[in-house]
Structure 1
């Protein structure tokens, strides 16, 4: 009996699959990583809405891929523990813990600092903890918030603090137990001399007043040369540092302080549901963000773009709401004769992302490209035709002395 021979046809492979089969391991790895969203920053390259629109980068993904996977809630993750020691050392504090966001970091720190009611938090009326954290300080800690308007229009001074702090402790009072400063605040820098003066005074009270810093954008002040991380750290009992604003990490902030304070902060974080299991996936990309963005000097070029943009806006006759000292430029649209819709529509024509969450604010980050910056300058020229060559606008504060230079610092920028 004859048997029928069946010939199987070799499957036809697509050009893509054939290419992959013939590739070396190194080529495969390169093609794999280059196809991922982590490998480019196209979406953020023209996004001036905020510096939290930075995209996580490939070094951050690779850090996640090689991280340890211990239990962060139990304090057993090697990557997290190493990173927390690293951050604490950067600012000169004893210890630190990870939180999921800057808002959580501030609320954890305030809750840890406030122990026995009644108590009051003294802060700038523009502070993030007042305007952008859902009333957390009142809801989570039950604190009275003493909002102070800086007498110099720029930053709180020791005189402001002395005038508004509640130092009596009768049953009518909610004594000031925390002074919460923010640096940078709306992109402007509180001078080191003022932070030191307020800190010295607060620590001399009986009992001492806890000094907290919302340092979500502290990196920008350091990049501007105002002071070092450790110089700032000396002034505060606790600090919150954000790894997403400007640094591009996908998630996370840190709270730093003494060992005893961080132990209590750990309880407050647990209270808010902020403890995580495999916390290395947060710590690893955050470490990459600090190393590859902040320590490598990528913030300074973005600040230079901000200064040049502010100077051009002023030269074209526009006005600013605040001086451009770091990476944020605040355009006074109404004072510059522009309607909001007109401004936003024109920006879209130049392929620029502006607007929400804060209209009129331009945030410069390290992923803003030269091409997007050039379009921004053309956009300025389109919406602000020359009006007699006047500069207008605000003076620029010398962050090292706290003085005002009356616009001189804009010279030389285009």
Structure 2
């Protein structure tokens, strides 16, 4: 009886292992193609000639190597490299604490949800703000908040008067009072003057309200103005800073604020599904970006200004100047359409990737890409002129220098 039992067990074990081997074979995956190294080289080349965003930058070999040395903790419990990044972010922003999160959208939405306690309430922001246009209605969904959007009276940035004219402080039961004013710096590449930020901050805080900053690209402000990150963050109760926009890290943002605020925000991060595990390699990538990629931003700004100057020399209307890394332009002023530019650029031996009126220069943009883009537009403009196009005195197709065409970030 025992011999039969032993035999049965061996047969069962053999069948189980055979079945498992089949399942394991089904589960098995190799994502590395035979040409993946060559493909990555080609992708890096493509990115150096892509003007659609600075989110498409990729880790360098050096960033990869640094990231592999990170600690291997679980961030829901404790992750040393991530904690070191959070402590550093709190220090350079002058805040008490910081929280590493997967994205800028997560950072903004967690911040708003943490500030907002009991509805009805509303937030006030620029009508172009990321939290309003590009976060999938998250403010309403996550926080149940109404949004008051404001068109800047100066066409550039929100002013104290804009805030005063639109903030809801009344206790009239028909209105959702403003609890948070949210600014964005940079916004579409433009810088809010710090004196205006301070004036808005003093007014907002005098009424017991909160001031949040979507500082996804605040690094550009610091680089362009020479102002410390702490000074730029001082007027705000909370700030979101991104590592993948501008700085070239693969993933992540940090939310900074008081100890109590970040403790509550950490709970909302978990609630939103944003708590992660072995984040050390991501934190290390962000640290590398702060150390080695932030110093590249002045060169980015210089290249963007060179692109702007080249467009103006051709006769193209500039809708929003290169204050940092972005330019908005209108080629209708030389008789050319965006589609014509994109089509001609895609036919180059080394194609350019474009996306409408916004041109974004980033840390991996090549100088040759800028030269080639200007060459394409110049050639098209010359062809249109030879065909009889004359630049009209009045705006083309209802466009004007004060009008901007905005794209997602």
Q: Give the alignment's TM-score, normalised by structure 2.
A: 0.82
The structural deviation recorded for 1:394 is 5.5
* Alpha-carbon contact 1:203-1:209 (below 8 Å) kept: yes
Shift of the 67–38 alpha-carbon distance from structure 1 to 2, 3 Å rule, reads farther
SS of residue matched to 1:162: helix
Q: Counterpart of 1:253?
A: 253
Report what 1:3 is aligned to: none
Shift of 1:99: 0.8
Q: CA RMSD in A?
A: 2.4
Counterpart in the other structure of 1:330 = 328
Aligned partner of residue 255 in structure 1, secondary structure: strand
Task: Mark the CA change 1:38 to 1:101 in structure 2 (over 3 Å): closer, same or farther.
Answer: farther
2:406 aligns with: none
Q: Residues 39 and 58 of structure 1 are in contact (CA less than 8 Å); yes or no, is this contact kept in structure 2?
A: no
Contact residue 341 and residue 377 of structure 2 kept, 8 A: no
Report if the CA contact (8 A) 2:46-2:352 is conserved: no
CA distance in 2 between counterparts of 1:55 and 1:71 reads: 25
What does 1:294-373 align with in structure 2 at a 5 Å threshold? Answer: 294=294, 297-350=295-348, 351-356=350-355, 359-373=356-370
Q: How many aligned positions are there?
A: 355
| 1:167 matched residue in structure 2 | 169
Structure 2 contact 315–333 (Cα < 8 Å) conserved: no
Query: Which residue of 125, 133, 136 corresponds with 2:135?
Result: 133
Q: CA deviation at 1:338?
A: 2.0
Q: Tell me the distance in 1 between the aligned counterparts of 2:150 and 2:166.
A: 7
Deviation, structure 1 residue 169: 2.0
What SS does the corresponding residue of 2:318 show, helix, strand or coil? coil
CA contact under 8 A between 1:94 and 1:258: conserved in structure 2?
A: yes
Please say if residues 59 and 249 of structure 2, whose CA atoms lie closer than 8 Å, have aligned partners that are also in contact. Answer: yes
Cα distance in 1, alignment partners of residues 133 and 226 from structure 2: 26
Change (3 A) 1:317 1:148: same
| CA offsets 1:276-306 (integer angstroms, 9 cap, x no match) | 1112122111111111101xx2011111111
Task: Identify the residue that residue 48 of structure 1 maps to in structure 2.
Answer: 51
- Distance, in Å, in 1 between the alignment partners of 2:342 and 2:276 is 40
Distance 1:237 1:149, change over 3 A: same
Counterpart in the other structure of 2:381 = 384
Distance 2:353 2:226 in 1: 28
TM superposition outliers: structure 1 runs of 4+ over 6 Å: 386-390
The CA deviation at 1:170 is: 3.0
Task: Provide closer, same or farther for how the CA distance between residues 242 and 346 of structure 1 changes in structure 2, counting only shifts above 3 A.
Answer: same
**Displacement, 1:337?**
2.5
Q: Is the 8 A contact 2:250 2:285 kept in 1?
A: yes
Gaps of 5+ in 1: 1-33, 396-414
Taking structure 1 as the reference length, the TM-score comes to 0.81
